[in-house]
Structure 1
Amino acid sequence: MSEKQASIIDEAGLAHLRSWTGKSETTADLITAAPVRSMSATLDRDDATPVSGTLLAPLWHWLYFLPHARQSEIGADGHPTRGGFLPPAPLPRRMWAGGRLTWETGNPLAVGQEVQRVSTIQSVNHKAGRSGELLFVLVQHQFSNENGLALTEEHDIVYRAAAEPGAPEPTPQKPPLDGEAAWSRTIVPDDVLLFRYSALTFNGHRIHYDRKYVTEVEGYPGLIVHGPLIATLLLDLLRRNLPDATVRKFSFKAVRPTFDLNAFSVHGKPSDDGKTVELWAQDHDGWLTMQGTAELA
């Protein structure tokens, strides 16, 4: 890595970014029916019309507690300008790298509930490697309804340095259970699917809809499929094949970007005892793009 790259975050800068550790914010939202109905349509599901009391599918809480920065507060990448709740990372590329979620037994989130979310910066860590600098930010979210804690989520955010010509690409991986899937589904990530998910999550990040920006500024070959959308499609695959199952825990990790240039696929395989399900996504070349594990109640 060049001296220029190494100096983007120096010791003083890292200490400043780490001063965000422990920062917390509390927000509230009402779980309404319209986003649920819209998500069902976006995922091409034939769900009943949601009403008060309809249970929220796992990961569909991402339709709520959305960022509402004013237009004048939006940065060049389409995200809110940095330095508010999240630390002002000086690295331009931002990714939702993965997460871990635990749903409380007997206290599901449902349409009609008023929910409070307490978000806390758990850690800020820096790493420099062959592919450049990385800044990892771990955020914990705790969601509570009138009955108490309903969901705890750990959200991994990674900031990366801009791509440089000739920089080494990470070695692609084959899925650990390649060829062993019990369930599979092919997804065509066209512009409409990406637009609808961005709209549903009020996500202005330009890498998902602005082809000129994503190719010329961030150096990617095409529009990037949202990591949360892929994670949602993994659990949607589980729901299609085990409609009566209750997900207790879910962990996932983004391994490789997925672009809109080709179809991709999601796959699943339950364990022999039926207690867990291994889930993964792979691109058109068969390379692993996301890996997850669901634990059933």
Structure 2
Amino acid sequence: MSEINLQDWLGKTESLADRVYPTPAKALARTLDNADFEPSEGRPLPELWYWLYFLPMAAASQIDGDGHPKRGGFLPPVALERRMWAGSRIRFHDDLLIGEAITKDAEIIKIAEKAGKTGSMVFVTVKHQVKSARGVAVTEEQDIVYLAKPTAFNPPPPTALPAAVAWREAYPVDPVLLFRFSALTFNAHKIHYDRRYAADEEKYPGLVVHGPLQALLLLESAKRHHPGQKPASYTFRGMRPMFDFDRISLCGQPKADQSCDLYTANGGDAIGMQATVSWRE
């Protein structure tokens, strides 16, 4: 059998269609303990909540041992066992409205094979454009990283939270929150709900808090501290895994250019995710 050239997947595209149905938005609001949000027809969908749509609908027979869809479809069949969403760069151009038809065009724009301290890594960058009838609403470049399966828990060295932040909100996480978010995003990766798999197969000390969940919580926190403002762009990247036993805080620090640096931190003030939001003028 000839060796697979991952670069053959560069430029591959797919297009998906969906509708901004109200039920997933209401379910996420309740999952986040927001009892007041009612997704009425024509109401703007909160930013990032488009992750509730265009879900990966792989048949049960096409699911791999880690819970992800088997490889070799749209994404390249990288041989490394562990895969995760490392971060994104997002621009918000227009609102998405509850009830409207939407489409998403995705393209693989970069595949990079690297050698890190823990071994080989492959980064796959996918560009997404989410559109309504009015045009492009969201552009997102999403980085997916593939790593070798570890033999022991070996996290990166902790990066400390800045000494002074403008706000810090405690946000309790537990297995129920992780399960509900997994269900809403149709993410069956076992590290988020199967404690035995997380420990035995991927060597984590607990259930892993989703990177997208942390990113979403940070943006919602920033919006609470900037009422009436809408984000123009948002970037985030995972620094260190967070677990269901961590005492997680959502932290923010405004910058001179009117953007905000955002962080999730555990009880020891180690950063889990780092993000930046800029606001529309």
Scaled by the length of structure 1, the TM-score of the pair is 0.90
1:63-89: CA deviation from partner (whole Å, max 9, x where unpaired): 111010001110000011000000111
**What is the RMSD of the two structures over their aligned residues, measured on CA atoms?**
1.5
The equivalences for 1:174-193 within 5 A come to: 174-175=160-161, 178-193=162-177
CA distance in 1, matches of 2:19, 2:154: 45
Q: How does 1:114-153 map to 2 (within 5 A)?
A: 114-153=101-140
Q: Secondary structure at the match of 2:223?
A: helix
Confirm whether residue 241 of structure 1 aligns to residue 225 of structure 2.
Answer: yes
Gapped regions of structure 1 (runs ≥ 5): 1-11
1:206 corresponds to which of 190, 203, 212? 190
Q: Which residue of 2 aligns with 1:76?
A: 65
CA distance in 2, matches of 1:169, 1:191: 21
Give the counterpart letter for 2:86 in structure 1: A
- Which deviations, in whole Å up to 9, do the C-alpha atoms of 1:122-147 show, x marking residues without a partner? 11111112211111000000011101
Whether 2:266 is the aligned partner of 1:277: answer no
The CA distance in 1 between the partners of 2:119 and 2:268, in whole Å, is 25
Give the distance between the partners of 2:121 and 2:75, measured in 1 at CA: 15
Q: CA deviation at 1:243?
A: 2.5
Aligned length: 279
The CA distance in 1 between the partners of 2:173 and 2:41, in whole Å, is: 32
In structure 2, what is the equivalent of residue 222 of structure 1?
206
Which portions of structure 1, spanning 4 or more consecutive aligned residues, are displaced by more than 6 angstroms? none
The residue correspondences of 1:240-259 to structure 2 (distance < 5 A) are 240-259=224-243
Return the letter of the residue paired with 1:174: A
Q: For residues 168 and 77 of structure 1, do their structure 2 counterparts lie closer, same or farther at Cα, with a shift above 3 Å needed?
A: closer
Secondary structure at 1:19's aligned position in 2?
helix
Instruction: Return the alpha-carbon distance in structure 1 between the equivalents of residues 9 and 220 of structure 2.
Output: 35
What is the CA–CA distance in structure 1 between the aligned matches of 2:155 and 2:23, rounded to whole Å? 41
SS for the counterpart of 2:232 is: strand
SS of the residue corresponding to residue 44 of structure 2 reads coil
Deviation at 1:168, TM superposition (A): 5.7
Percent of counterpart pairs with the same letter?
A: 43
Other-structure match for 1:159: 146
What is the CA–CA distance in structure 2 between the aligned matches of 1:84 and 1:155, rounded to whole Å? 17
Decide whether the 8 Å contact of 1:130 with 1:168 is kept in 2: no
Match of 2:43 in 1: 54
Letter in 1 for 2:121: L
Match of 2:179 in 1: 195
Q: Distance in 2 between matches of 1:285 and 1:102?
A: 32
Q: 2:245 aligns to what SS in structure 1?
A: coil
Contact (CA 8 Å) 1:223, 1:259: kept in 2 or not? yes
Tell me if 1:294 matches 2:281: no
Q: Is the 8 A contact 1:139 1:154 kept in 2?
A: yes
Matched residue, 1:232: 216
Aligned AA (2:105): V
Number of the residue aligned with 1:4? none
Q: Partners in 2 of 1:65 and 1:16 — Cα distance?
A: 28
1:33-73: per-residue Cα shift (whole Å, max 9, x none)?
A: 11111111111224331111111111111011101000111
8 Å CA contact retained: 1:26, 1:116: yes
Deviation of 1:272 after TM superposition, in Å, equals 4.1
Which 5+ residue runs of structure 2 have no aligned equivalent? none
Q: Distance in 2 between matches of 1:183 and 1:36?
A: 27
CA drift of 1:249 comes to 0.2
- Per the alignment, residue 79 of structure 2 pairs with 90
Q: 1:198 to 1:114 in 2, by over 3 A?
A: same
